[in-house]
């Protein structure tokens, strides 16, 4: 027998974006239904941000044990228990999971349904034996790994981000297909945990970012011992569990790479299968569900947020989308998305953080720009910690207004925040140059880069002449 439920808002998908909408709507008094067929918390908690950063942290601890010589400390070869590393990763997930649990959301007043959802019509969703009729719907079903068409790939076992964090035995030789952020993060973390690692990339590793900055990251991984093959084509995969062979075509010819494990990290696809979107008049293609700048689908009663609409697939973007939807769906305010100041971070060591326009993008969009740089080697804190592989690069217009910023440095994800503020508020460099930064900190690189904009004027011949003239008056 069908159980009919009436709601103000029904959310499909309990990942970061869906949970944010559900929590906000319920606490604002809306009758809220949340449907999730898998794990609460979605990709971020279970197979993405949280486990990857936990694994990266383990790799960082192992790496530092062998890097003490510069400080007068004898390096030590770490004894790595991969099963305990896995237990650490699972423990971090378990510690965060109560925040995303069914119990917590039911405590907030949300009706949580653990089942597959599909549209019956433009205003109705079916989930198991329940029929939900709501004023507004939000699709927040996220994404899943995109698997490339490589001959033989379907005949061998391979890992994705959804399965790599289940490994309790250390891979002997991990082959990574894909040199994007996920591939590079996992490559470095696994190498630091004692694995031989080969990364295979069809174009350029970290190709979406400024090549001047990514070169620093790539060079660091290579120096640590990660093999990175760029501009190569994978023509075939063969083997069985524990012995995988990947055939590639390089400029020098054909090559076969032998490894124990294979990680496929070639991007993600929106998760829309089985939703019966057509029955609700919702339009989608291979890139995701089509939405307007208010995140409404072709059916204006239905919103879509997060990875399922393509574009910038980050947890913080999904949470940003959640706020836009709540303003539109509950308060009927015409809030619109603006991606101009959305930051992102690649959690390699050093980290790579970015907001706004790259140099290439800025040159394509503006008649004239300014490019400011400050190297970590010129920072006293970086010298004290022997972490001088890094650079901040700031792009401004001719009026000194910030267009974009990219940072390669330890904790670059933390260092990028003032530049997010500068970009979002259309601040000029004078705001950054005028602050007092604590000494000695890495954050001084931001003030130094901003101040360098004024150096040519401050120390010009005109300024020198002015100082001499004023000196005549005592």
124 labelled ligand-binding: no
278 domain residue, yes or no = yes
pLDDT of amino acid 470: 83
CATH number reported for the structural domain that contains residue 15 in this entry: 3.50.50.60
48 labelled ligand-binding: no
460 labelled ligand-binding: no
Q: Is the pLDDT of residue 457 over 90?
A: no
Tally the domains of the chain.
3
* H or E stretch at 2: none
- In sequence order, what DSSP letters do the residues of 58-74 get, joined into one string? HHHHHHHTT--GGGT--
Q: Are residues 200 and 279 in the same domain?
A: no
182 labelled ligand-binding: yes
Q: Are residues 204 and 353 in the same domain?
A: no
Q: Give the structural domain span for 245.
A: 153-266
79 domain residue, yes or no = no
Q: Are residues 26 and 174 in the same domain?
A: no
Answer with the one of 266, 296, 313 that is the final residue of a domain: 266
φ/ψ (deg, to 5) at 196: -75, 140
467 domain residue, yes or no = no
The pTM for the full model equals: 0.95
The pair of structure tokens assigned to 16 is 């970061």
User: CA 173 to CA 195: how far, in whole Å?
Assistant: 6
204 labelled ligand-binding: no
179 labelled ligand-binding: yes
Q: Are residues 110 and 242 in the same domain?
A: no
Q: Are residues 193 and 310 in the same domain?
A: no
Instruction: Output the CA–CA distances (angstroms, integers) from residue 180 to 5, 264, 473, in the order listed.
Output: 43, 11, 62
Q: Are residues 245 and 219 in the same domain?
A: yes
Q: Are residues 223 and 279 in the same domain?
A: no
Q: Are residues 115 and 31 in the same domain?
A: yes
357 labelled ligand-binding: no
User: CA 173 to CA 160: how far, in whole Å?
Assistant: 16
Q: Are residues 17 and 139 in the same domain?
A: yes
pLDDT of amino acid 63: 98
User: CA 33 to CA 111: how far, in whole Å?
Assistant: 5
Please enumerate, as own/partner, the contacts of 80-88 that have beta carbons within 8 Å and a separation of 24 or more: 80/170, 80/193, 80/194, 82/167, 82/168, 82/169, 82/170, 82/193, 82/194, 83/168, 83/169, 85/55, 85/58, 85/193, 86/165, 86/166, 86/167, 86/168, 88/54, 88/58
251 domain residue, yes or no = yes
User: CA 316 to CA 446: how far, in whole Å?
Assistant: 23
φ/ψ (deg, to 5) at 251: -60, -30
87 domain residue, yes or no = no
142 labelled ligand-binding: yes
20 labelled ligand-binding: no
pLDDT of amino acid 443: 97
Q: Are residues 112 and 199 in the same domain?
A: no
Mean pLDDT of the chain: 96
φ/ψ (deg, to 5) at 357: -90, 145
223 domain residue, yes or no = yes
180 labelled ligand-binding: yes
Q: Are residues 20 and 115 in the same domain?
A: yes
66 labelled ligand-binding: no
Answer with the one of 248, 266, 284 that is the final residue of a domain: 266
Q: Is the pLDDT of residue 6 over 90?
A: yes
CATH number reported for the structural domain that contains residue 436 in this entry: 3.30.390.30
405 within 8 A of 423, measured Cβ to Cβ: yes
Answer with the one of 266, 281, 312 that is the final residue of a domain: 266
Confidence band of 455 (pLDDT split at 50, 70, 90): confident
Q: Are residues 116 and 8 in the same domain?
A: yes
322 within 8 A of 347, measured Cβ to Cβ: no
Per-residue pLDDT reduced to its tens digit, 94-152: 999 999 999 999 999 999 999 999 999 999 999 999 999 999 999 999 999 999 999 99
């Amino acid at each position: 027998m069908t159980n009919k439920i009436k709601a103000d808002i029904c959310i499909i998908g309990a990942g970061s974006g869906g949970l944010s909408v559900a929590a906000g709507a319920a606490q604002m008094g809306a009758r809220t239904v949340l449907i999730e067929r898998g794990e609460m918390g979605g990709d971020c908690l279970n197979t993405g941000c949280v486990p990857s950063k936990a694994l990266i942290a383990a790799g960082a601890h192992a790496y530092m044990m062998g890097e003490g010589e510069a400080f007068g400390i004898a390096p030590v070869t770490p004894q790595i228990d991969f099963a305990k590393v896995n237990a650490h990763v699972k423990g971090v997930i378990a510690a965060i999971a109560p925040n995303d649990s069914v119990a917590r959301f039911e405590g907030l007043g949300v009706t949580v349904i653990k089942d597959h959802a599909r549209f019956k019509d433009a205003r109705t969703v079916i989930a198991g034996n329940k029929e939900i009729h709501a004023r507004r719907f939000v699709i927040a079903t996220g994404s899943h790994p995109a698997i490339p068409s490589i001959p033989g790939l379907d005949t061998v076992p391979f890992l994705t981000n959804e399965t790599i964090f289940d490994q309790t035995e250390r891979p002997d030789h991990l082959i990574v297909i894909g040199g994007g952020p996920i591939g590079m993060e996992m490559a470095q973390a696994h190498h630091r945990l004692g694995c031989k690692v080969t990364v295979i990339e069809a174009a350029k590793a970290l190709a979406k970012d400024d090549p001047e900055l990514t070169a620093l990251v790539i060079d660091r991984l290579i120096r640590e011992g990660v093999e990175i093959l760029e501009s190569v084509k994978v023509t075939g995969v063969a083997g069985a569990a524990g012995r995988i062979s990947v055939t590639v075509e390089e400029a020098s010819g054909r090559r076969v790479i032998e490894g124990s494990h294979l990680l496929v990290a070639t991007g993600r696809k929106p998760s829309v299968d089985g939703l019966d979107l057509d029955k609700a008049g919702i339009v989608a293609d291979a890139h995701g569900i089509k939405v307007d700048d208010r995140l409404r689908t072709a059916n204006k009663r239905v919103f879509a947020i997060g990875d399922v609409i393509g574009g910038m697939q980050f947890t913080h973007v999904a949470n940003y989308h959640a706020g836009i939807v709540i303003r539109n769906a509950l308060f009927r305010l015409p809030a619109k998305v603006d991606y101009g100041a959305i930051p992102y971070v690649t959690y390699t060591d050093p980290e790579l953080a970015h907001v706004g326009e790259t140099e290439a993008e800025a040159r394509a969009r503006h008649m004239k720009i300014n490019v400011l740089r400050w190297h970590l080697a010129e920072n006293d804190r970086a010298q004290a910690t022997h972490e001088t592989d890094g650079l901040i690069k700031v792009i401004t217009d001719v009026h000194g207004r910030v267009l974009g910023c990219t940072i390669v440095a330890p904790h670059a994800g933390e260092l990028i925040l003032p530049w997010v503020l500068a970009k979002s508020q259309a601040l000029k460099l004078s705001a950054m140059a005028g602050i007092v930064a604590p000494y000695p900190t890495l954050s001084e690189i931001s003030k130094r880069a901003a101040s360098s904009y004024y150096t040519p004027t401050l120390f010009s011949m005109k300024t020198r002449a002015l100082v001499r003239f004023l000196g005549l008056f005592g």
